[in-house]
Structure 1
Amino acid sequence: MKKQLLLLIVVAVLVILAIIQPNGSNKEKTAKVGFQAPEFELSGFNGTSYSLSQLKGKPVLINFWASWCVPCRKEAPEFVRLYNKYKDKVEFYAVNTTSDDTIEGVLSFVEQYQLQFPVLLDEKGEVSKLYNVRSYPTTYFVDGKGAIVSINLGIVSPESLEKTIISTIETSKGDVS
């Protein structure tokens, strides 16, 4: 009886360790604060190809969204305002998870909110999976060295959004002025 109990405990411990142990093959692609942002390349709505590596040290805000997402619609005018204010200091990538959306929806959204920053199409949902996007909107802030400095899940206040953009710029350049 004692041997069976000991064997059961050992098996339980091994199962728990297997569950909580990070997947070794995914360590480099963990989209978490303090980690390097996973590299990706997507086509923009305009047909141009975009990637993180082409930014050459410029910080970037990566917003994952869908045209049917009500909070995304509430947030869009604020992104437009902040893009116009900070476009020389930080890049904005609006990643539409097209696998959960339609091209018609994207076009309507882009026209309605007059998005001037790159709108990228994640047609297979691979980048959204890479960044562990589970809800919309989800926004990643990446400094000029490629490290994720902040993640916003859901809609945030305009003040908080701008504060995070300024902080990301400061982390990258040391000064916003």
Structure 2
Amino acid sequence: MLITLLLASCGDKPAEHAGVDQHGQPVAASRLQDQWLVINYWAIWCAPCRKEIPELNRLVQQLSGQAGVFAVNFDGKQGEALAKEANELGITFTVLAQDPANRFNLPRSTALPVTYLVDPSGKLRQTLLGEQTAAGILEHLASLQGDSP
């Protein structure tokens, strides 16, 4: 019976996480898989970022689950500092505390804001440099999805 219990407990795999969000809550890795992703890099000191955040908040509502929208702090802020800055900018969607650049082979931009559009297979499909609008990102996504095999 002890062997059966040990084998049963070994079969339970913990859920895979992609780090935590701005609230310290785990982000399921599945949220970064098998769907289109909009990954936006921002910083508190970036004036265009401040103007763009309301558009990204609007984008999340307009997509209503058709794609994942995530923010990443360019300066690598963590914990309370990340939460404070995300709150100050009014970000209402998930801010990834762990930079997903390696996961998706995203280049490091020297300018902000920058938004990456990643396809469901995890391939970077487009880099949008500078301030974006919800409508503009929706147009880019529609165009790219039309090109998808």
TM over 0.5: yes
CA-CA distance at 1:111 after TM superposition: 4.9
Residue 171 to residue 43, structure 1, CA distance change in 2 (3 Å)? farther
Equivalent residues of 1:66, 1:100 under 8 A apart: no
CA-CA distance at 1:84 after TM superposition: 0.4
Equivalent residues of 1:67, 1:73 under 8 A apart: yes
Distance 1:169 1:118 in 2: 23
* Structure 1 position 133 matched with structure 2 position 133: no
Structure 2 residues not aligned, in runs of 5+: 1-16
What is the root-mean-square deviation in Å for CA atoms of aligned residues? 3.3
Residue 86 to residue 169, structure 1, CA distance change in 2 (3 Å)? farther
With the length of structure 1 as denominator, give the TM-score of the two structures.
0.59
Counterpart in 2 of 1:152? 128
Residue 53 to residue 167, structure 1, CA distance change in 2 (3 Å)? farther
Deviations 1:9-29 (A, max 9, x none): xxxxxxxxxxxxxxxxxxxxx
* Structure 1 position 161 matched with structure 2 position 137: yes
Which residue of 34, 37, 51 corresponds with 1:60? 37
Distance 1:126 1:140 in 2: 11
Structure of higher CA gyration radius: 1
With the length of structure 2 as denominator, give the TM-score of the two structures.
0.68
Residue 169 to residue 67, structure 1, CA distance change in 2 (3 Å)? farther
Deviations 1:30-72 (A, max 9, x none): xxxxxxxxxx943211223337654331111000111121000
Residue 135 to residue 103, structure 1, CA distance change in 2 (3 Å)? farther
Aligned residues: 131
Aligned ranges 1:94-113 → 2 under 5 Å: 94-99=71-76, 103-104=80-81, 106-113=83-90
Bigger shift: residues 140-149 or 100-109: 100-109
CA-CA distance at 1:110 after TM superposition: 2.5
Distance 1:77 1:42 in 2: 25
Equivalent residues of 1:63, 1:93 under 8 A apart: yes
Residue 112 to residue 95, structure 1, CA distance change in 2 (3 Å)? closer
SS in 1 for 2:110: coil
Which residue of 57, 75, 78 corresponds with 1:80? 57
Distance 1:101 1:56 in 2: 23
Structure showing the higher helix proportion among its residues: 1
Bigger shift: residues 96-105 or 152-161: 96-105
